[in-house]
């Protein structure tokens, strides 16, 4: 079977996948659209109800902060104590009213603030009628003053009293809901001082319930109901306080929906059966948010959506056929560009790069970028392999040139040592012993791993020789955490940094030079710090050394730092961290962090 081009395949697939759906689109389009829009409406409405519930919580929390401000105020506690004791009542009441008046207008929607003392005194301030010091709502409240006081003072938390009719002022009925809390003296939590009740306008609840409905032409009906199915807030203030027929269980959404429809029918709403009722229950607040949504709006939206969808689909079909024909030409051209570059790379030319043009499709551009990046990495890797091989050859040559017969060297040093002892030159004897130890340690298994404790012992001998050579011009402190004694590092890893600190850092006269070498463990990583207070060197030198650039001029005095950094990076497989911080006249600090090797922790624990 003859192979077909990519372009012909794409065009064939498009026609096969577009013609068949056309036959069934007319049958299923309406059904699926109505179903999806119905599900979408339900989802959005439930999200809207949850958002309303969250906004209700935020609303109540903001006013609970006001109640908290009152019942925890030390002045309020003191004034209530005065009222309960019958002391300076007129002055105390005046002070309380000034305090309450300042809070009355601090937030919108506050209808009244009322305080009840344990002795039975009531102090109130409000905005509902001209008699600002007479309570406007207590006479219509479902609880008398004594029962109300006992109910609130017997609780340690906030109490929420649902909306009730309060009063008529200026020809308008006012409905209030209340947040109450007992006044607390934190010096005596069990003492009964009194209670505070903040009364809020029902309009606050109404605005939260109908925040999104104000812009709709077809009005929906939103309700806030308590656990007894009594209306706390709704579309008509006259409905407040009325209960749904039969008092359905608020956990039964079907019964609640039927109750809402029956309630709407009772209130003269046309065709309540054409409404879908959605319920959201808040178990913590013990209330229900209900929303009756007209299906007429939904059906109109469905019809409009079908018309728009059909028109857009026809337009897109024509545009797609045209664009497909044009774009396949660009796509095929882009594919050819990539395959040609791959063929060149396959022939061994790693310098080939695919040109990135704006006309390339994003997928082809991604492939081209990855291809170019891969070839660059291959080329860099090949170059690094060549450099590494050259460096290994140079290192082997240097190692061969530096070879010395160790037995001859040890015997010679031993002979010199006994000569020094015969002449009672014990300082020279100690220096020769240290030198012999250093050479024996350095020559045997140069590239092997050793325990930290062995490397520290070598460092002590090495520093001793340097101090002897420099006539004790510097002091050295070596501290080793017990946890790292058995950690492994490569032999002589620290020597170039210590030597650089001594030979370069302590080269100028100074009162006291100090060298500090510390070993410790942090988050599983071995850390080593080598710090001196010597002459330091310029940060530009540090940057060039860390970048691996060759030293020049005075920089060549920094003994072997470049090789030491390269060796550290090689031995830690690039997972270690090495920092050099140096400033002229302030000294140099080298921090080395070694990665934890798999299994090393368990081995150290066993040896510990």
Q: Nearest 5°: CA angle at 487, between 484 and 490?
A: 130
Q: If you ran DSSP here, which 8-state letter would residue 382 be given? A: H
Provide the H-helix boundaries in 356-450: 362-401, 406-422, 426-443
User: Per-residue b/e over 75-87, b at no fewer than 16 CB within 10 Å?
Assistant: ebbebbbbbbeee
Q: How confident is the model at residue 70 (pLDDT cuts 50, 70, 90)?
A: very high
In angstroms, the CA 78 to CA 139 distance is 28
The 3-state secondary structure of 203-223 reads: HHHHHHHCCCHHHCCCCCEEE
Beta bridge partners of 165: 175
Query: In angstroms, what CA-CA distances link 495 with 148, 468, 482, 561, 564?
Result: 85, 17, 22, 10, 9
Two tokens at 274?
């054409």
pLDDT of the residue at 479: 94
Provide the percentage of residues in the chain whose pLDDT is more than 90: 18
In angstroms, the CA 435 to CA 496 distance is 17
In angstroms, the CA 133 to CA 121 distance is 13
DSSP 307-360: HHHHHHHHHHHHHHHHHHHHHHHHHHHHHHHHHHHHHHHHTT-TT------TTS
559 Cβ contact partners less than 8 Å away, ≥ 6 residues apart = 496, 499, 500, 503, 504
Segment 380-406 shows an average pLDDT of 64
Q: How confident is the model at residue 217 (pLDDT cuts 50, 70, 90)?
A: very low
pLDDT of the residue at 606: 55
User: Per-residue b/e over 137-146, b at no fewer than 16 CB within 10 Å?
Assistant: bbeebeeeee
In angstroms, the CA 266 to CA 244 distance is 10
Separation of first and last alpha carbons in the chain = 73
524 Cβ contact partners less than 8 Å away, ≥ 6 residues apart = 596, 601
pLDDT of the residue at 1: 54
Q: Mean of the per-residue pLDDT values for the chain?
A: 80
Beta bridge partners of 232: none
In angstroms, the CA 600 to CA 525 distance is 11
pLDDT of the residue at 3: 63
pLDDT at 407 over 70: no
131 Cβ contact partners less than 8 Å away, ≥ 6 residues apart = none
Phi, psi angles (nearest 5°) of residue 105: -105, 15
Radius of gyration of the chain measured on its C-alpha atoms: 44
Least confident of 82-86, 221-225, 367-371, 574-578: 367-371
Provide the H-helix boundaries in 231-294: 253-266
Two tokens at 52?
């309303």
Segment 142-163 shows an average pLDDT of 91
In angstroms, the CA 376 to CA 356 distance is 15
Query: In angstroms, what CA-CA distances link 36 with 50, 194, 257, 297, 302?
Result: 21, 56, 22, 15, 10
Contact criterion met (CB below 8 Å) for 591 and 529: yes
446 Cβ contact partners less than 8 Å away, ≥ 6 residues apart = 399, 491, 492
Q: What is the pLDDT of residues 43-63, one digit of tens each?
A: 888 888 888 888 888 988 899
pLDDT of the residue at 522: 92
**pTM of the full structure:** 0.47
Query: Would the CA dihedral through 157, 163, 168, 169 be positive or negative?
Result: positive
């Amino acid at each position: 079977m003859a192979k077909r081009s990519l372009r012909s395949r794409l065009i064939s697939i498009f026609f096969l996948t577009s013609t068949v759906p056309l036959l069934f689109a007319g049958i299923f389009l309406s059904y699926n659209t109505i179903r999806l829009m119905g599900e979408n409406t339900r989802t959005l409405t439930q999200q809207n109800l949850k958002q309303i519930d969250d906004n209700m919580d935020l609303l109540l929390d903001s006013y609970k902060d006001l109640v908290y401000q009152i019942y925890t105020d030390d002045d309020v506690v003191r004034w209530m104590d005065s009222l309960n004791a019958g002391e300076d009542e007129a002055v105390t009441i005046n002070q309380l009213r000034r305090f309450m008046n300042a809070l009355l207008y601090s937030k919108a929607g506050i209808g009244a603030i009322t305080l009840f003392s344990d002795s039975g005194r009531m102090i109130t301030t409000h905005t509902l009628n001209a008699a600002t010091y007479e309570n406007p709502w207590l006479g219509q409240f479902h609880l008398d003053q004594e029962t109300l006081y006992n109910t609130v003072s017997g609780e340690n938390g906030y109490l929420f009293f649902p909306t009730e009719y309060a009063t008529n002022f200026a020809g308008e009925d006012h409905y209030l809901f209340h947040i109450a809390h007992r006044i607390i003296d934190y010096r005596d939590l069990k003492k009964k001082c009194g209670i505070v009740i903040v009364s809020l306008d029902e309009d606050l609840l109404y605005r939260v319930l109908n925040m999104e409905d104000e812009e709709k032409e077809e009005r929906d009906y939103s309700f806030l109901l308590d656990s007894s199915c009594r209306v706390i807030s709704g579309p008509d203030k006259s409905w407040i306080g009325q209960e749904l027929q039969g008092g359905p269980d608020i956990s039964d959404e079907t019964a609640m929906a039927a109750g809402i429809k029956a309630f709407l029918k009772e209130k003269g709403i046309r065709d309540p059966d054409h409404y879908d009722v959605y319920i959201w229950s808040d178990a913590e607040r013990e209330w229900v948010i209900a929303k009756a949504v007209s299906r007429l709006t939904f059906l109109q939206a469905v019809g409009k959506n079908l018309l728009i969808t059909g028109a857009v689909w026809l337009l897109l079909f024509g545009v797609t056929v045209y664009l497909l024909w044009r774009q396949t030409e660009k796509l095929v051209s882009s594919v050819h560009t990539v395959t040609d570059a791959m063929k060149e790379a396959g022939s061994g030319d790693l310098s080939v790069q695919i040109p990135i043009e704006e006309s390339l499709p994003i997928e082809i551009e991604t492939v081209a970028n990855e291809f170019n990046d891969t070839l660059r990495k291959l080329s860099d890797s090949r170059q690094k392999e060549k450099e590494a091989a050259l460096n290994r050859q140079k290192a082997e040559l240097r190692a061969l040139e530096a070879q010395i017969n160790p037995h001859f060297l040890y015997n010679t040093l031993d002979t010199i040592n006994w000569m020094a002892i015969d002449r009672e030159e014990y300082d020279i004897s100690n220096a020769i012993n240290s030198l012999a130890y250093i050479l024996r340690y350095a020559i045997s298994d140069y590239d092997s791993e050793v325990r930290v404790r062995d490397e520290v012992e070598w460092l002590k001998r090495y520093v001793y020789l340097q101090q002897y050579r420099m006539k004790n011009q510097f002091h050295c402190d070596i501290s080793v955490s017990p946890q790292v004694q058995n950690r492994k590092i490569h032999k002589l890893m620290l020597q170039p940094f210590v030597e650089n600190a001594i030979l370069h850092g302590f080269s100028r006269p100074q009162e006291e030079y100090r060298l500090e070498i510390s070993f410790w463990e942090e988050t599983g990583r071995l850390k080593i710090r080598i710090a001196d207070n010597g002459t330091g060197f310029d940060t530009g030198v540090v940057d060039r050394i860390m970048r691996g650039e060759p030293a020049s001029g005075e920089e060549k005095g920094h003994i072997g730092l470049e090789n030491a950094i390269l060796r550290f990076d090689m031995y830690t497989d690039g997972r270690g961290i090495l920092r050099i911080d140096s400033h002229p006249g302030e000294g140099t600090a080298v921090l080395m962090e070694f990665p934890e090797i798999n299994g090393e922790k368990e081995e150290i624990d066993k040896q510990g």
